[in-house]
Structure 1
Amino acid sequence: LAKYSMEDQSNWDLYLPSALFAYRTIRQHTTRFEPFYLTYGREATLPIELKLPSDPTIIGSDAQQDQQVEDFQEQFYQRIRMLIGPLEDNRQLARSNVHTMLLKNFRPKKLDTKWNGPYYIHDRRNNGTYQLRTIDGKIRKKWVHADQL
């Protein structure tokens, strides 16, 4: 919920039904059942099942099925590229120069923002750690690794 409501923390309740559905459709270790099944006495119909017909007679010809597989693969690869983007940004950050402005990632409370800053890079070590300087010129004593920026 914190990640989805990062932009506007007053709308976290809009994401609650999706989060609860996800929780209720995961098999629980203690009961060995899904909460959805225990509540309604049947398996939940997942959103992907609405897009992919489970009855082979509904799927259609082999050519249609091949095209559908290719479409899903392309969507999968686009999603992977989108997820890898921030990792590439971290690699570029590891080569960043002194005096570059950036934000520091930290471990906040549940619905707090995850970023501090902005900071400038004051000094850089070859192991990917940085010493940061605030906008008013105060130098932070602790060095920070690139994966926290």
Structure 2
Amino acid sequence: MLIKYVNGDVHSWDEYVDTTLFACRIRKHATTGFSPYFLTYGVDPRIPGDPHRPFIHAFIEQDPELISEETLIHLRKLRESRYIAEERLQKQAQLDKMRWDSMLKNNQIQTFNVGDHVLLRHESKKGLEYNWMGPYKVIKR
């Protein structure tokens, strides 16, 4: 994600660390179904541009038992969300392993023909350099 913010200017990466971390933390992850921010604090993040929500404390009685009860409900929901996220992570890890194992077992190696355009993995990449080089044209097989 940092590479997208830097946009080719690899020497200015430090200017984008905070923005990148914030974006990673508030974004809902496909695997867990939750954002790391939500799993940490139990509420969705409020960011500029979000509609204002009413000040919740103005509507809650100051009864300690009511506040305690609401807090317990909130903590139970948070614990349940974390449990669901953990289950989803484990399920995804199993699916990834099965997919990888089947690729190795079936020996699914990509073959290319003369004239094809290919990308070459940048094995000795440093820092924020691109993962792939190219495209290159296959001239000999």
Fold in common (TM above 0.5): no
**TM-score, normalised via structure 2 length:** 0.34
* Structure number having the greater helix percentage: 2
**TM-score, normalised via structure 1 length:** 0.32
> Bigger relative contact order, structure 1 or 2, given CA contacts below 8 A and separation 6+?
2
